[in-house]
Amino acid sequence: MKKPPARGVHFATKMKTIALALTATLLTLTASAADLEPVLGKKGKLLLEEKFDGDAVPKGWNRNTGKLSVSGGVLHASEVAADKHAGAFRKPLPVQDCAIQIDFKFDGARMFNLGFDPAPGELKKKGHLFSLVVTADSWNLTEHTDKADPKSKNVAHAKAAVKFEQGKWHTLLLECKGDDVVARVAGQEPLRATAKDFHVKKPGLVFRMGGKDDQEVLFDNVKVWELK
């Protein structure tokens, strides 16, 4: 009669199976993020790479409202109720056709925006150009109102119901080329939008966050390329 394997052998086999499963999962997740190559063009010159490895907000990441800090190798951003305005910060970086990759995680916050203003002199428009608006259960590409025109309204060119879980990292790729914009996150259907003003020069990245004082959005691994 064949003897059953010893308990130690059975335990080692079980642990090896679990380790292999975890490795496969990690490889799948890594591949999903790595597969976010641009669809509107090809990556050109790398214009920015920021990993937030220090213990202070890097130079050039400028807070307008809200709270901004670095800890644990990531950027923490939140709204502050006393400001009576969404949390907002900017990273000056002159771009036009570009691809932006960023890791984000909701840590209580209800939303964040990543978008642009038009560079001075590019448009007869006051205010933001467009934003990707991300919440825990939806996202959209919105062209913003002209604050100089009281009849102007925000226009959501593309929107979808999705699930971005609190406490989970996601990798986003936002592309701008000519009049076209595409937003992609691994595992989600892309958002696509076209508008005649999207092609203009842009002075840098604009971020906004919404939520209570202690509710944050975390950001990491920011990369920006020219899009050829």
120-158 per-position pLDDT tens digit: 999 988 889 999 999 999 999 999 988 888 888 989 999
Cα separation, 112 vs 138, whole angstroms: 11
| Total domains in the fold of the chain | 1
CA-CA distance, 216 to 219, in Å (whole number)?
Answer: 10
| Domain-embedded: residue 14 | no
The structure's pTM equals 0.83
pLDDT of residue 22: 41
**Which single residue is written with the structure tokens 């007869």?**
124
Is residue 194 one of the residues assigned to a domain?
A: yes
**13 within some domain:** no
Per the model's pLDDT, the better-predicted residue between 57 and 155 turns out to be 57
- What is the spatial distance between Cα 177 and Cα 106, in angstroms, rounded to a whole number? 28
Q: Say whether pLDDT at 101 is over 90.
A: yes
Residue 43 lies in a domain: yes
CA distance 31 to 52: 23
CA separation for the pair 155, 104 (Å, rounded): 25
d(CA 151, CA 137): 29
Range of the domain at 133: 36-227
Asked if residue 12 is part of any domain, the answer here is no
Strands (E), the chain: 43-50, 62-65, 67-71, 74-78, 87-95, 98-107, 111-116, 130-135, 138-143, 155-161, 170-177, 180-185, 191-194, 202-210, 216-227
Residue 6 is assigned to a structural domain of this protein: no
Residue 8 has pLDDT above 80, yes or no: no
Asked which of 49-63, 79-93, 148-162 is least confident by mean pLDDT, the reply is: 148-162
Q: For residue 18, what pLDDT band results from cuts at 50, 70 and 90?
A: very low
For residue 109, the domain's CATH number is: 2.60.120.560
**What 3-state class would DSSP assign to 187?**
coil
Q: CA-to-CA distance for 202 and 16, rounded, in angstroms?
A: 51
In-domain check, residue 158 = yes
Query: Sign of the CA dihedral 62, 135, 129, 125?
Result: negative
Considering the domain boundaries, does residue 110 fall inside one?
yes
